[in-house]
């Protein structure tokens, strides 16, 4: 069975599990602001990165790579796709391939 979850669903489920809330997920979702959901997702990402030794370079603005070349040097198993690249003082999503 394939289960498709949105990023918001992941944040809400994580919050419910960690906080021990025994409420329907829709009720919890209504209690969490978008900022709270983003903060929870950031925590989830950090936990997954430490648990599975994942490098997040290029996957988020705060982890932008200096170039596509740097991205594939640090994370050689990444597939071609859109990644965050630092272009001087600005950040942009750019298509990178090896």
**Per residue in 60-92, pLDDT tens?**
888 899 999 999 998 888 899 999 999 888 999
What is the value of pTM for the model shown? 0.49
Helix axes 7-19 and 34-52, enclosed angle (nearest 10): 80
At 54, is the pLDDT very low, low, confident or very high (cuts 50, 70, 90)? Answer: low
Task: Please report the pLDDT score of residue 95 as a whole number.
Answer: 96
Q: Where in the chain is the domain with CATH 3.30.750.130?
A: 56-98
At 41, is the pLDDT very low, low, confident or very high (cuts 50, 70, 90)? Answer: confident
Task: Please report the pLDDT score of residue 70 as a whole number.
Answer: 93
For residue 43, give both structure tokens. Answer: 């925590």
Sign for the CA dihedral angle at 58, 64, 70, 73 comes to negative
Q: Tokens 């919050």 map to which residue?
A: 15
pLDDT at 96 over 70: yes
CATH assignment of 56-98, given 3.30.750.130, 3.90.79.10, 3.40.50.1220, 1.10.1270.20? 3.30.750.130
Is the separation of the CB atoms in 40 and 14 below 8 Å? yes
């Amino acid at each position: 069975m394939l289960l498709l979850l949105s990023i918001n669903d992941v944040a809400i489920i994580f919050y419910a599990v960690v906080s021990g809330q025994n409420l329907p997920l829709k009720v919890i979702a209504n209690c969490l602001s978008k900022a709270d959901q983003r903060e929870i997702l950031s925590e989830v990402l950090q936990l997954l990165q430490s648990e599975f030794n994942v490098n997040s370079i290029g996957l988020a603005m705060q982890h932008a790579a200096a170039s596509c070349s740097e991205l594939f040097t640090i994370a050689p198993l990444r597939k071609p796709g859109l990644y965050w690249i630092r272009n001087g003082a600005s950040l942009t999503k750019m298509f990178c391939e090896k």
